[in-house]
């Protein structure tokens, strides 16, 4: 995923060193994503359907304003003429809609810890999808990580009395979303991508707001001034971390992004356990422990691959 401004630094490979600005962008992006549960809880009594609907429409407005400010209408119009890209971003919109709705529902129903689990296992799900969808081959270490994560889900299912469906929906929806983003590659920058996705979803969001207005009633502008400001900021809250992430991905090697991506679910986990006081029985600790072991195994493989790439680069003739 690339950032909107064309003046951003070129992408770095595994063998490059970290950029200080890239680290700041990455930590800021994942830090903001980590504290999203607190933001959504502050929007009470607004329900998840209304929050997601406003998030879609306000994100579209925010992205349109950014395109106007940065004067990037020309490349955006070029994307609109590419039917395949437009349809692909429509599919991405469906996935991100499912992801947003599930995440906001989990937050407002007191299941932040399970939502954090979804983003902890997302890297492992991404590896697994690479095998199923892209026909990639895993080495023994990667298969070990996948196997441990499957055992972890089984342990958590026994503890919950059912599959941790919130975590699985979040992990797989975002995993498939990542595959689509990888497919379109550098052709679609962050702002244009989010604009196309939310444009596809805008009619759905409008219908949802009509349904909410005719049933429980809309909360926008009816609760308090502070609540209205927070709800109106949903577009910026959605787009700003995405832009920071896009800027970081252009400046940091993959291995650093791989480490920093755990900031968000770790913060969410801490919020769920220590701020919201969600229960953590022994079987849930065991399941999370297995997930963390799987992530350590996967990270070890990532570090080993980075070192091998660095050695290979050093042996190449100048």
Dump pLDDT digits (tens) for 228-239. 999 999 999 988
For the stretch 35-84, pLDDT in tens is 999 999 999 999 999 999 999 999 999 999 999 998 888 889 988 999 99
Asked if the peptide bond before residue 146 counts as cis, ω within 30 degrees of 0, the response is no
**Is the Cβ–Cβ distance between 266 and 35 less than 8 Å?**
no
Rounded Cα distance, 205 and 254, in Å: 35
Do 195 and 60 meet the contact criterion of CB atoms below 8 Å apart?
Answer: yes
Across 116-120, 160-164, 258-262, least confident range: 258-262
Helix, strand, or coil (residue 2): strand
Instruction: Check residue 213 and give its pLDDT.
Output: 95
The three-class DSSP label of residue 189 is: strand
Burial class (CB in 10 A: 0-12, 13-18, 19+), 268: buried
CB 237 within 8 A of CB 36: yes
CA 279 vs CA 14, 17, 233, 266: distances in Å: 40, 41, 31, 16
pLDDT band at 255 (very low <50, low <70, confident <90, very high): low
Where does the pLDDT of residue 10 fall: very low under 50, low under 70, confident under 90, or very high at 90 and above? Answer: very low
Contact 170, 113 (CB under 8 A): no
Give which of 173, 157, 185 is closest to 119, Cα–Cα: 173
**CB of 251 within 8 A of CB of 25?**
yes
What pTM does this model have?
0.85
Share of the chain above pLDDT 70, in %: 91
Q: How confident is the model at residue 318 (pLDDT cuts 50, 70, 90)?
A: low
Q: Above 70 in pLDDT, residue 186?
A: yes
- Dihedral-angle region of residue 110 (phi above 0 means left; psi in -120 to 50 means alpha; beta otherwise): left
Closest alpha carbon to 113 in 260, 258, 283 = 283
Least confident of 18-22, 146-150, 238-242: 18-22
In the predicted model, is pLDDT for residue 256 greater than 80?
no
Helices 225-232, 48-70: crossing angle, 10 deg rounding = 60
Contact (CB, 8 A) for 22 and 247: yes
| Spatial contact of 79 and 87, defined as CB atoms under 8 Å apart | no
Provide the pLDDT for residue 128. Answer: 80
Q: What is the pLDDT of residue 201?
A: 96
Q: Provide the pLDDT for residue 142.
A: 83
**What is the Cα Rg of the chain in Å?**
20
Rounded to 5 degrees, what angle do the CA atoms 74, 244, 28 make? 170
> What is the structure's pLDDT at 52?
96
Once rounded to an integer, what is the mean pLDDT over residues 137-160? 86
Q: Which residue did the predictor score with more confidence, 299 or 9?
A: 299
Q: Is the pLDDT of residue 6 over 70?
A: no
| Mean pLDDT across the chain | 86
With contact defined as beta carbons under 8 Å apart, do 254 and 18 qualify? Answer: no
Of the given ranges (92-106, 139-153, 179-193, 274-288), which has the lowest mean pLDDT?
179-193
Domain boundaries, the chain: 20-311
CB atoms within 10 A of CB 288: 20
Each residue of 278-298: pLDDT tens digit? 999 998 999 999 999 988 988
**Which of 91-100, 116-125, 299-308 shows the lowest per-residue confidence on average (mean pLDDT)?**
299-308
Q: CB neighbours of 305 closer than 8 A, spacing ≥ 6?
A: 14
The pLDDT assigned to 21 comes to 84
The residue-averaged pLDDT of 269-284 equals 92
Q: 83-108 and 165-184 are packed helices; what angle lies between their axes, rounded to 10 degrees?
A: 160
Q: Is the pLDDT of residue 8 over 50?
A: no
Residue 189 has φ and ψ, to the nearest 5°, of: -75, 175
């Amino acid at each position: 995923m690339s950032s909107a401004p064309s003046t951003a630094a070129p992408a770095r490979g595994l063998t490059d060193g970290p950029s200080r600005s890239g680290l700041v962008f990455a930590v800021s992006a994942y830090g903001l994503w980590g504290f999203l549960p607190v933001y959504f809880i502050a929007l009470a009594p607004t329900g998840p359907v209304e929050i997601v609907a406003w998030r879609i429409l306000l994100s579209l407005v925010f992205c349109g304003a950014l395109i106007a400010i940065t004067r990037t209408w020309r490349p955006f119009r070029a994307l609109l003429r590419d039917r395949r890209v437009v349809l692909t971003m429509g599919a991405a919109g469906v996935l991100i809609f499912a992801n947003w709705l599930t995440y906001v529902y989990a937050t407002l129903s007191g299941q932040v810890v399970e939502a954090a689990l979804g983003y902890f296992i997302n890297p492992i799900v991404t590896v697994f999808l690479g095998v199923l969808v892209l026909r990639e081959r895993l080495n023994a270490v990667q298969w070990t990580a996948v196997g441990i994560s499957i055992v972890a889900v089984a342990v958590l299912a026994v503890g919950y009395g059912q599959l941790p469906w919130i975590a699985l929906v979040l992990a797989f929806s975002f995993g498939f979303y990542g595959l689509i983003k990888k497919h379109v590659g550098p052709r679609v920058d962050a702002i244009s991508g989010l604009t196309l996705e939310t444009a596809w979803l805008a009619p759905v969001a409008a219908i949802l707001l009509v349904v909410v207005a005719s049933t429980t009633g809309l909360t926008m502008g009816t609760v308090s001034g502070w609540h209205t400001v927070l709800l109106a900021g949903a577009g910026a809250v959605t787009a700003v971390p995405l832009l920071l992430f896009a800027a970081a991905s252009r400046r940091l090697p993959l291995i650093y992004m791989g480490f920093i991506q755990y900031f968000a679910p770790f913060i969410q986990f801490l919020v769920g356990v220590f701020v919201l006081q969600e229960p953590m029985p022994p079987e849930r600790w065991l399941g999370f422990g297995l997930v963390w072991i799987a992530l350590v195994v996967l990270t070890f493989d990532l570090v080993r691959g980075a070192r091998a790439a660095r050695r290979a680069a050093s042996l190449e003739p100048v």
